[in-house]
Structures are given as C-alpha cells and as structure tokens.
Amino acid sequence: MRLNFKQRFFSWLDSYDIYDEDGNTVFTVEGQLSWGHCLHINDAYGSHIGTLQEKVFTFLPQFEIYIQDQYVGCIKKEFSFFKPQFTIDFNGWQVDGAWMEWDYTIWDGQRQVASISKELFHLTDTYLIDVADPGDALGALLVVLAIDAEKCFRS
C-alpha cells in the first residue's frame, strides 16, 4: 500500500492530508493548539482514530502514541551524531534513518513494515510511505508524523 503524505499549504497549525495511490483521502491530520505538537488523526470519514502528543520538558523530543484514546507507546529521539535514531516502544518496531534525514525504514525484527521517503522540491512537507501490510498504515503514519514534528522541533 502506498500513501502520499502532504502538508497543507495554508494552515496555522500542522495539517496534513494522506492519500492512497488513486488520490483518495485515507487519513487527515489536524494540529491542535497546545504545548508541544498535538496531532489528531481522522479516517476518511472524519472519525477520530489516533493522536500523537509531544511530551514537553524533555531533553530530547518524545511523542506519545494513542490509538483511539488509549495509550499504546512512545517514540523518542536518541542522541546521535550522523544518523538519526529513534526508540519506539510501539509494536516492537525499529526505525532506521539515512544520514540526510529524508529516507527511513520501519522494521519489525527482520520484516520491513514501511519505507518512507521525503520528496524534495515541494512547498510543503511531502512524503511517500510504502506500507507492506495495510493494517500497519496508521502506525507507520504516526511514526512519520513524529519524525516530521521532531525536525520542526529543531528548526
């Protein structure tokens, strides 16, 4: 399953639309005014299905993951010099990132869950997310949102 992740151009808060290969909306993401990033994920019908909430007052960025309203894990940026590293206590996944911070792979042991690549030369953040199992699409999206929010944190 391929998802096209596009940040909205005119938006005061973080807002994204996520489309499938045919251009159909699969998810929408709406930012909420709060301390740190708080992103609400809705399905194609507008129903709330998840939240990504940044923890404030931490040395390095951390993001709590909620499916519906239930806490399911956390993504933490790790201190590293050349290659971005994240610790995920969600689904047993791991993230490998390229040193330029544009391409990522999510792993579940030896199984590749998703590959993420940032498209360059766009006015807004645009990513392609290739997910092996459509059931992992929401989780992969939450990881991408956390990585994108962490980049904004540094800028």
Q: Tens of pLDDT along 14-45?
A: 788 999 999 999 999 998 766 678 999 999 99
Q: Which of 39-43, 44-48, 93-97, 100-104 has the lowest mean pLDDT?
A: 100-104
Q: Say if residue 126 is exposed, middle or buried (CB neighbours under 10 Å; 0-12, 13-18, 19+).
A: middle
Q: What's the mean pLDDT in 105-134?
A: 86
Architecture in CATH of 2-154:
Beta Barrel (2.40)
Q: What angle do CA 116, 66, 147 make, to 5 degrees?
A: 30
The domain ranges of the chain are 2-154
Q: Which pair of structure tokens corresponds to residue 39?
A: 């992103």
Q: Which helix (H) or strand (E) holds 148?
A: helix 137-154
Q: Tens of pLDDT along 56-83?
A: 887 888 899 999 999 999 998 877 776 6
- Angstrom distance (rounded) from CA 142 to CA 5: 12
